[in-house]
Structure 1
Amino acid sequence: MPHSSHKQDLDQISELWRLGRTPIKIGVLKNMLRAYPHAVEEIPGTSTRGRVGSRKQPRRVQRFDIESETNRLINCSLAPNTIQAYQRALNALAKFRDSFDLDHSFPIPLNHITQFIAYMSCLDMAPSTVKCYISAISFYNKINNYEDMSQLFVVRKMIDGMARSKLKRPDSQEVSVWIVGSSLIRNAFVHARSRTGGVNLGLHRIGVKIWWQGYGGMGIKDLESTIKRLMKYEKAPKYLVLHIAGNDLGKTKLGFLRNEIKTTLEKVQSYLPNSSIVWSQILPRTNWRHSISQDSMMACRIRINSAIASFVLKNGGHYIKYPDILPNSTFLKEDGVHLTDLGNDIFLNNLQGALEMFICSGSYTYPDTFGTSMCIS
C-alpha cells in the first residue's frame, strides 16, 4: 500500500484519539489496525496534562518465558549451596539407578528410595549427607506434584537407623533418666516389661537406667510436689522426661495453661539444676476430659506443644515428638485416650531413639525431620 495512504490513515486515527468525544466505529478501526500490524505502537497516548505521547505495546510473553520464570522464582527461594547440594543428590540417584539397571521413572518408587539409602550406607556416607539427599528427593516430588514416598515411616526409620549405627557410647558412667507423667507413662512401663530391651529400652548398653513414674490423672498442678517427693529417694537424673498436661487441656484458658506450665518447669529446673528437661509431646486423643470439641482441642494441643517445646529448647532442654501416632483406633483404645499395643510400641520406640540421640549425639529434637527444598531439574 502506498506510503501516503498509510500516513493518511494514521492521521485519521490520531485525530480520533485526540478528540476523544468523537464516536469511533470500532469495526473500521480494527480493519485499519489489521492492515498495519505496527500501527498500534504508533497510536498516540494521552496523559493528564493533555500531552500526546507514544504508547509502546508490551512484549509478547511466550510459553518459554513462563517456564523459565517459574524455574527462576523457585531457584531464588533457595540458597545457592542448597541448589548445588540437591542437584548432586539427584545426580547420585541417577548414577545409582544406572549402576543397578533401575528405570528412571517418576515419581520415584519406594523401593528405589530404600535401596538408595542402603546403597549410601554401604558406601559409609555420613547420615547428614543421606538426609540431605533424601530431602532433595522429597522436594523434587513435591515441586512436581508427585506422591512423596520419601516421608514414609520405613524411610524415616532407615535414616534413624543409619544415624544410630554411627553413634558411640560417650563413656561408661551411668546415665540416670526419670520418665514422669500420667497413666500413659504407667502403661508404657508395663508394656516395656514384655518387650526386648525391657524397662531400660535396650539402652543399658550405653549405661542408661530409667526410673518410670506414671500416675493416673496426673496434671500440671501435681508435678512440683511429685518431683520433690522423688528427690527424697533418688539422686537427680541426667534427663527428666515429662509427659504431662494432656489432662489439663480445656480446663482453663490456653494462655493461662501455657504460663502455668512454664512457671512449673522453671521451679522444677531450680530443684534439678544439673538435669536436662525433656518435653514429651502431648499425644492426640479422640476423647478429651474437659471438652467435646475435637477440632478445638487438637488445635490447643498443637499450640501448647509448640509453645512449651520452644520454651524448653530455649533453656537447653530437649523435645520428643510422635508424628506416627494418630487419633484413630489403630493407635488409641476405645476410651480415646490410652494407647493400644501398637501405639505403645511406637511411643517406646520414639523414647528409645530420642534418649539415645540426646545422649550420644547431643541433638535436641527427635525425630529430627529433614528439610524440603530444592530446584526443578
Structure 2
Amino acid sequence: MAERQMPNLYSVFDGPCSCPSCWNDETEMPELEFESGNEESLERMMYEAVGNSLSPTIPTRNSELEQLNCVAGPSSLPSSEEPVDVNTESVHADDSLQILEDEQTIREIWVVGHSYIHWAEKKALQMGMENLGCDPSQIKVSWGGIRGMRWRALKPFLGEAADHCPTPFGIIIHLGGNDVGRKSNLGLISWIKEDLRWLSEYYPDTILIFSSIVLRPCWSQGAKWRGRRINNVLQRFLWREKGCMYHNYSLEGEQLDLFRDDGVHLSNEGNCIFVSNLRQMVELCLIKGGM
C-alpha cells in the first residue's frame, strides 16, 4: 500500500499553510509577548508568523526504544487456518484485502504546543525517538511546537488543519503555561474549555490528551497555585468530555536541575524526561483508542 501523501496546501493568509503537514521545520516562531485581552492581534500575528512543521517520522533505533522501554511495536496480521469454501472464495478474498488495508493504515498523532514541544522534538530527534517509540508503519507522530505560543493561538493554528487535513488518530496538547498570570484563572479556564469542546466537535473520533501545565521555578507561589488550580479543573472537565489529562509529576517539585537558569525552559535532563512523558502520552492515546 503506497505511503499516504499529505496535501501541500496554502492558506488564504500570507505565508505557508497552517495545515500541520505543511508547517516548515526550518524556521522558528519568534517569542511572542501580548497584552492580556488582545486576542485579535495574537491570532493575526500567529497566522503571519511561520510555525515549526509537523515533521515526517523517521525509523527509530532499537537501542533507544529499549532504553525508554517503549511500547506499541508492530503487530502481526491475523491469519486463519480454516479452509476457504470454493463458493465463497471471492468473499474471503475481499475480506482479506480489507483486513490488510485496515492493518496498514497509518494513524497520525499530533503533538502541539509551545516551546516545550519545540525543544522536545529536537531532543527526541537526537535520541532517535522522533516517532516516540511507535512503529512508523502503523503510527506517525507529527510535531507542531511554536516558541512563545499562548492558548488563544491554538484554534487558528489548528483551524486550517481541520478543513484540509485527514483526521488525526490523537492530539496531544501542551499549552497554557505562557498564559498563567497574564489572564485571570476563570478567563483562562473558560478559553481552554471552549477550545477543547471545539476540538471535540471537529474531531469527534480523535483521542484528546492534555499535558498538564508544568509549574515553573520562576513563578511566584501565587502563580504556582493558579497553575495547580487550572490542572485540577481541567482534569475533571476532560473526564466528563471523554478526554484525558497526563500529569507531568516528574517535572514538579523543587528540581531546579530540570530547568535552565531562566527558570522557564527545561534543561537537557528535563527535556529527556519530557520526551519520556510524551512517549507515555502516545501510549495512553493508543490504549484509549483500542490499539
> CA 1:276–1:360 in 2, change beyond 3 Å: closer, same or farther?
closer
From the CA coordinates, give the structure whose radius of gyration is larger. Answer: 1
Structure 1: distance between partners of 2:156 and 2:282:
25
Structure 1: distance between partners of 2:122 and 2:193:
30
Q: Residue 120 of structure 2: SS of its match in structure 1?
A: helix
1:280 to 208, 211, 217: 211
Cα offsets for 1:315-361 (capped at 9, x unmatched): 11122121111343211111111111111111111111231233146
Q: How does 1:315-354 map to 2 (within 5 A)?
A: 315-326=241-252, 327-354=254-281
Kindly, what percent of the aligned residue pairs are identical? 26
TM-score (structure 1 length as normaliser): 0.48
What is the letter of the counterpart of residue 135 of structure 2?
H
1:210, distance to aligned residue in structure 2 (A): 1.0
**Structure 2 residue 106 is matched with structure 1 residue 181:** no
What is the letter of the counterpart of residue 123 of structure 2?
H
Q: How does 1:134-213 map to 2 (within 5 A)?
A: 169=75, 171-196=103-128, 198-204=129-135, 207-213=138-144
- In the alignment, structure 1 segments of 5+ residues that lack a partner are 1-159, 289-293, 364-377
Q: Residue 177 of structure 2: SS of its match in structure 1?
A: coil
Q: Residue 200 of structure 1: SS of its match in structure 2?
A: coil
Q: Which residue of 1 aligns with 2:238?
A: 312
- In the alignment, structure 2 segments of 5+ residues that lack a partner are 1-67, 77-102
- Indicate if the aligned counterparts of 1:331 and 1:340 stay in contact, CA closer than 8 A: yes
What is the letter of the counterpart of residue 227 of structure 2?
R
Q: Residue 105 of structure 2: SS of its match in structure 1?
A: coil
Q: Residue 172 of structure 2: SS of its match in structure 1?
A: strand
1:310, distance to aligned residue in structure 2 (A): 1.7
1:246, distance to aligned residue in structure 2 (A): 0.5
1:212, distance to aligned residue in structure 2 (A): 0.6
- Indicate if the aligned counterparts of 1:169 and 1:360 stay in contact, CA closer than 8 A: no
CA RMSD, Structure 1 to Structure 2 (Å):
2.5
Q: Residue 250 of structure 2: SS of its match in structure 1?
A: coil
Structure number with the bigger relative contact order (C-alpha 8 A, sep ≥ 6) is 2
> CA 1:270–1:302 in 2, change beyond 3 Å: closer, same or farther?
same
Structure 2: distance between partners of 1:218 and 1:247:
7
> CA 1:235–1:337 in 2, change beyond 3 Å: closer, same or farther?
same
> CA 1:235–1:253 in 2, change beyond 3 Å: closer, same or farther?
same
> CA 1:283–1:235 in 2, change beyond 3 Å: closer, same or farther?
same
> CA 1:318–1:332 in 2, change beyond 3 Å: closer, same or farther?
same
- Indicate if the aligned counterparts of 2:215 and 2:224 stay in contact, CA closer than 8 A: yes
1:167, distance to aligned residue in structure 2 (A): 8.7
**Structure 2 residue 286 is matched with structure 1 residue 355:** no
What is the letter of the counterpart of residue 109 of structure 2?
V
Q: Which residue of 2 aligns with 1:269?
A: 200
Structure 1: distance between partners of 2:152 and 2:225:
22
> CA 1:268–1:259 in 2, change beyond 3 Å: closer, same or farther?
same
1:205, distance to aligned residue in structure 2 (A): 5.7
1:272, distance to aligned residue in structure 2 (A): 2.0
Q: Which residue of 2 aligns with 1:257?
A: 188
What is the letter of the counterpart of residue 237 of structure 2?
F
Q: Residue 109 of structure 2: SS of its match in structure 1?
A: strand
1:173, distance to aligned residue in structure 2 (A): 3.1
Structure 2: distance between partners of 1:209 and 1:215:
19
> CA 1:360–1:270 in 2, change beyond 3 Å: closer, same or farther?
closer
1:219 to 126, 147, 150: 150
Structure 1: distance between partners of 2:71 and 2:138:
17
Structure 2: distance between partners of 1:311 and 1:243:
16
Structure 1: distance between partners of 2:162 and 2:186:
30
Cα offsets for 1:244-301 (capped at 9, x unmatched): 110111112211211111012112222222212111111120224xxxxx21111111
Decide which structure has greater helix share: 1
Cα offsets for 1:12-37 (capped at 9, x unmatched): xxxxxxxxxxxxxxxxxxxxxxxxxx
1:229, distance to aligned residue in structure 2 (A): 2.7
What is the letter of the counterpart of residue 116 of structure 2?
L
What is the letter of the counterpart of residue 249 of structure 2?
P
What is the letter of the counterpart of residue 242 of structure 2?
G
What is the letter of the counterpart of residue 297 of structure 1?
A
1:218, distance to aligned residue in structure 2 (A): 1.0
Structure 2: distance between partners of 1:328 and 1:255:
29
Structure 2: distance between partners of 1:328 and 1:335:
14
| Residue correspondences, number | 196
Structure 2: distance between partners of 1:266 and 1:360:
22
Q: Residue 285 of structure 1: SS of its match in structure 2?
A: coil
